[in-house]
Structure 1
Amino acid sequence: MKGIFRIYRLFAIVLVFTIAICGCGKEQENLSTQTSDSLPTIVVGCDNYPPFSYTDTDGKPTGLDTELATEAFRRMGYHAEFVTIDWENKKELLADGSIDCIWCCFSMDGRTDQYRWAGPYMLSRQVVAVNPDSDIYTLQQLENKIVAVQATTKPEELFLMPDDNEDITIPKVKSLFSMQNRELIYPMLSKGYMDAIAAHETSLLQYMNDYHVEYRILDEPLLTVGLGVAFSLEDNRGLDQELSATLEEMRKDGTSEEIIGKYLAHPSTYLEAEDYEVK
């Protein structure tokens, strides 16, 4: 009987320890989940714009802007949620609160009075691309040509209002096609429907690499711009200033260069925005 009693007693002790360990593990798991779930969410409006923002083969948001946003908001105590938006309606979506900010290779230049801005966090060149056998080599040779751009972008603005840009002379083109879907401008050029297209140099290089297409980018850029994160003018939370400080911290500690280097060669050249004066 004493032997049986010892066995039962030993079993009871093991059972108590097992329950205690499982309970602690479950409590720790719940605490971890609660900590993650309890973070306030920032809804980031973005577009399909490789290498800045796009979805990977598993359907998850990725890209250099996506990674920068995730890390920056994490440091600020937020969870970043990415929503693909209709780029033409970005301002309205920001104004009605559907999104908290716009973060997707967004040029600050010429828009400083339209949003509250964080940045610039990197620089980008707006350029013109043509087919390899094109006889267009300078911006002036675009006069009376047919050009395609994405709607509501800086290139569209530059070609629609060429006289408003004091830094560079942009000729008047014959026709300007503004496409809602940016990805349509590339096949339109390849098939010869357009004489030229204009976009961020980084996105053009990414498309050429992804689809093994050859374009010739003109040496003379349309404009060098500072990229920033846009918040509504009515947003008084101070997120723009806090994010600017966080992005500067990420630039100084090498985080931004490391992230950008995953997607672009010579990442340091894109980070020379410290002394850049937004126009």
Structure 2
Amino acid sequence: MKIKKIRSVCLILTCIAATGLMGCGKTDTKSDTTKNPVIKIGSDSYPPYNFLNEDGIPTGIDVELAAEAFGRMGYQTEIVQINWEQKKELVESGEIDCIMGCFSMEGRLDDYRWAGPYMVSRQVVAVNENSDIYELSDLAGKNLAVQSTTKPEGIFLNRTDPRIPELGNLISLGHRELIYTFLGKGYVDAVAAHEESIIQYMKDYDTSFRILEEPLMVVGIGAAFAKNDDRGICEQMEQTLEEMRQDGTANKIIEKYLDEPEKYLEVDDLGY
């Protein structure tokens, strides 16, 4: 199998401050949060988890969950748009405090200190509607695009799952949007990504792909801190996210972006 990695040269690294939201039930808008310490959260554009709204302000599931959780913990949040391929180096160097952008824990448990899983996600394959690909086995000899350094890239590179056939080409792209452009133009036969991301792209761009019924993997999503981060923030974050799941706050946030929000919170059976 030929493996091709294509990096976009148009990545813009920007740091955009997102005001930390106050905890659930707090309505004192005069509270001065500027004295609270800032947590820098590294992410890339990955709707519906993190993206810029019409006013250029970071929004999305992870942006809101992080702001609420860290707000309860006494922190402000700052969303830092990063090169996703450099996420591990950035968190280990201290340039960012954690990674939170629909980040799969599967296969990475020993690479980071984790808060989570706080959500469940399916990694899936999508094809054009007129495609003759209906099962994972039909991908044999086909060309498939993934976002670089994501879980699907590892799944197809390593092929430790016997269901995964040998591809013709695996195309790794630096930006989420590019994989769908490649699929729509017929440069590849299929793409692999988080199911929520594919659904969001179809909504945003009024296009239609067909998602294969059989998932590549069901994964837990977590917030990743550096392995040697001993500040206790990760452990406090995990506890706070669980409190938000139990008190209904997480459900209320997720339902703004996804149908059937409760199914994304069924994390107890993941076995992490």
TM-score range, shorter chain: 0.7 to 0.9
Structure with higher helix content: 1
Structural mapping, 1:74-113, within 5 Å: 74-113=71-110
2:240 aligned with 1:246, yes or no?
Answer: yes
Q: Normalising by structure 1, what TM-score?
A: 0.86
Q: What is the CA-CA distance between 1:109 and the residue it aligns to?
A: 0.5
Paired residue secondary structure (2:253)? helix
Aligned residue in 1 for 2:114:
117
Root-mean-square deviation (Å):
0.9
Which of 126, 135, 139 matches 2:136?
139
Aligned-partner Cα distance in 2 for 1:185–1:36: 40
4+ residue runs of structure 1 moved beyond 6 angstroms?
none
Aligned residue in 1 for 2:155:
158
Aligned-partner Cα distance in 2 for 1:254–1:213: 33
Q: Normalising by structure 2, what TM-score?
A: 0.88
Q: What is the CA-CA distance between 1:199 and the residue it aligns to?
A: 0.3
Q: What is the CA-CA distance between 1:254 and the residue it aligns to?
A: 0.2
Aligned-partner Cα distance in 2 for 1:273–1:76: 22
Q: What is the CA-CA distance between 1:224 and the residue it aligns to?
A: 0.4
Aligned residue in 1 for 2:199:
205
Aligned residue in 2 for 1:224:
218
Which of 234, 238, 261 matches 2:255?
261
Letter in 2 for 1:215: F
Return the index of the structure with the highest Cα Rg. 1
Aligned-partner Cα distance in 2 for 1:169–1:90: 29
Q: Sequence identity of aligned pairs in percent?
A: 56
Aligned residue in 2 for 1:28:
none
Q: What is the CA-CA distance between 1:194 and the residue it aligns to?
A: 0.4
Aligned-partner Cα distance in 2 for 1:65–1:82: 10
Aligned-partner Cα distance in 2 for 1:240–1:36: 21
2:169 aligned with 1:175, yes or no?
Answer: yes
Q: Tell me the alpha carbon deviations over residues 126-165 of structure 1, each in whole angstroms, 9 at most, x when there is no partner.
A: 00000000000000010110000000000000000012x3
Q: What is the CA-CA distance between 1:274 and the residue it aligns to?
A: 2.2
Q: What is the CA-CA distance between 1:257 and the residue it aligns to?
A: 0.2
Q: Tell me the alpha carbon deviations over residues 31-77 of structure 1, each in whole angstroms, 9 at most, x when there is no partner.
A: x57x3111000000011000000011111000011000000000011
Aligned residue in 2 for 1:23:
none
Aligned-partner Cα distance in 2 for 1:221–1:123: 13
Aligned-partner Cα distance in 1 for 2:95–2:66: 18
Count of residue pairs the alignment pairs up: 243
Paired residue secondary structure (2:230)? coil
Aligned-partner Cα distance in 1 for 2:72–2:166: 46
Paired residue secondary structure (1:229)? strand
Which of 182, 186, 206 matches 1:188?
182
Aligned-partner Cα distance in 1 for 2:34–2:210: 48
Uncovered stretches (5+) of structure 1, i.e. residues with no partner:
1-31
Uncovered stretches (5+) of structure 2, i.e. residues with no partner:
1-29
Aligned residue in 2 for 1:17:
none
